[in-house]
Amino acid sequence: MNLRTTEHLIGGRWTPATTTDQIVVRSPHDGHVLDRVALANTADIDRAVGVARSAFDQGDWPRMPASERAALVGRLAQRYGSSLEEMAQLISSENGSPISFSRLGQAGAVPLLFTGFLDAAGAMAWEEPVETMFGTQLLRRQAVGVVGAITAWNVPQILIVAKLAPALLAGCSIVVKASPDAPLDALLLAEMVHEVGFPSGVVSIVVGGAAAGRALVDHAGVDKVAFTGSSAVGREIASVCGRNLTRCSVELGGKSAAIILDDADLDRTVAGLRFASFMNNGQACAAQTRVLAPRSRYDDVVEALVASVSTFVVGDPLDDATEIGPLVNERQRDRVEEYLRIGVGEGAVVAIGGPAATRPADGPATTGCYVAPTVFAEVDNAMRVAQEEIFGPVVAVIPYDGDADAARLANQSVYGLGGSIWTADQDRAAALARRLRTGMIGVNQFGPSTDMPFGGFKASGIGREYGAHGLAEYVELTTIHGLKADRIQASSRPTP
């Protein structure tokens, strides 16, 4: 499909950009120019929020039956399903995600997200009578208002749809500011939204940088900000929202621990970590980048990990065989390389990969933003490579003594997003999982469900996405008391 790279989708209409500012979109594989995309500025954001505000305050969208909104969102889900391969190809070409992952874990996950949200909206009691200590009252759920959504580039469609779908189902209007590092997939989604035809003003999708993001966050017309990105930017956004008392949810970084217990089947474990630790080239917020290994089996764990990592197929993200592609851009590659040097400087031992091996000497990965998949051994949990989010194919293996020590180390992090436990003993896994201060824990696997709450503790953010809990983030509660019981019954219906 031809993407409208010189326009923004504002309130459902394709609108020429107000300036000639552009993003040059380059392939992270070989640097060739894929496209040029209009960059939204603060005036574009202002226009988008203006029409969203009118649509919310005066339009039908928040007031129509929830089932009618669900029908339109359902049509968008259907339309989406017919372009999965095109979407997967676009994502891989612009952010370097291996095409096998883009098919499964990027574009392929979006229909599941839609289903989770549609089911949650269908089950939502938008108004319900509640027996209280002061008699029967009415609990009403209504849209939070105009939403400003700001997203990262690593799983760009998941991040947008996890905000767009619940916002629309709840009756919000929404302005999405997509990442300048993954603009093309956002434009394809905008094309689908345009085709489905939401009421005027309800949906805007623009691509912009930090300035556009700041304008959206601080805009007086925005009732809720939904952000996914780094903890540093999340902190800034949450503080602006705090000052303005704008509702906000922030989904941020992670440094999740994979805890290998002493009874684990190592072959199965390292096979599982190929995904859990290295998914999306390690550019995943919930990647298990701290591997906690029992001291009694530490050398075996490192050896098994090295053997596994040495077989990764590194190369062109659009090649079906590729398991590790390039990082998204040079800035990200430089950042990861810097962490490889930091690790060595701190005394971590390069078991495979590392700063010397980065930028492979031959093969398809000689050009582009490649970093050799790396395992650091002899890592102390206090080291920067164990505490800071690297966002690349780099794991740190940390020894521990006993399950209590493993839990202590796993929790010794400013983050608390994901985690996994690898063991033959389900009871030990259950007991350990209950000690972890983190949002999502897999046992002998890692793959959160698209209808269970996704999000984390501490610096990993505030709020949850996906399914019923994700939908609740776009809902405000009103209690109405003093109504006669027959009126409460009369107005209690599943749609507002």
Binding residues for ligand NAD (CB under 6 A): 150-155, 159, 179-180, 209-210, 213-214, 217, 228-230, 233, 236-237, 251-254, 285, 389, 391, 417, 460-461
CA-based nearest residue to 400, from 432, 426, 434, 443: 432
Nearer Cβ to ligand NAD, position 11 or 392? 392
What span, in angstroms and rounded, lies between the C-alpha atoms of 158 and 181? 15
Dump the DSSP string for 16-31.
E-SS--EEEEE-TTT-
Least CB distance from residue 181 to ligand NAD, whole Å?
6
- Copy the structure tokens of residue 223: 């009732």
Q: Least distance to ligand NAD from the beta carbon of 233, Å?
A: 3
State in angstroms the smallest separation of the CB of 287 from ligand NAD: 9
Report d(CA 267, CA 304) in Å as an integer.
7
Q: Of 172, 241, 248, 285, which residue is the catalytic one?
A: 285
Catalytic one among 94, 127, 251, 323?
251
Helix-strand-coil split of the chain, %, nearest 5: 40, 20, 35
**What's the token pair of residue 398?**
């940390």
Tokens 């890592």: give the residue: 379
Nearer to ligand NAD, 143 or 237 (CB): 237
C-alpha to C-alpha distances, 472 to 109, 143, 184, 388, nearest whole angstrom? 21, 9, 29, 31
Active site residue 285: yes
Query: Would you say 38 or 264 has its CB closer to ligand NAD?
Result: 38
CB 176 within 8 A of CB 23: no
Please state the closest distance from residue 117 (CB atom) to ligand NAD, in A.
16
Amino acid, single-letter form, for residue 152:
A
d(CA 259, CA 140): 43
Least distance in Å: CB of 197 to ligand NAD?
A: 26
d(CA 58, CA 89): 39
Q: What is the CA radius of gyration of the chain?
A: 23
CA torsion, ordered 237, 463, 201, 199, to nearest 10 deg: 170
Query: Given the complex with ligand NAD, which of 93 and 269 has the nearer CB atom?
Result: 93
Q: Report the amino acid identity of residue 82.
A: S
DSSP letter, residue 39 = P
**Phi, then psi, of 205 in degrees rounded to 5:** -130, 115
Q: DSSP strand E in 125-194: where? A: 127-132, 135-143, 146-150, 173-178
E strand intervals along 186-262: 203-207, 224-228, 247-251, 257-260
Min. distance of Cβ 89 from ligand NAD in angstroms?
21
Query: How many whole angstroms separate alpha carbon 184 and alpha carbon 236?
Result: 27
Least CB distance from residue 454 to ligand NAD, whole Å? 6
CA triple 236-242-246, angle to 5 deg: 105
Closest residue to ligand NAD, Cβ-based? 213
Q: How far is the CB of 228 from ligand NAD (least distance, A)?
A: 5
**Tokens 């509640």 map to which residue?**
130
In this complex, which beta carbon is closest to ligand NAD, that of residue 229 or of residue 442?
229
Q: Closer to ligand NAD by CB, 259 or 462: give it.
A: 462
Angle (CA) 16-21-23 rounded to 5° is: 105
DSSP H or E stretch at residue 339 = helix 330-346
Closer residue to ligand NAD (CB): 160 or 406? 160
| 68 annotated active-site | no
Cβ distance to ligand NAD smaller for residue 214 or 458: 214
Query: Which residues belong to the active site?
Result: 251, 285
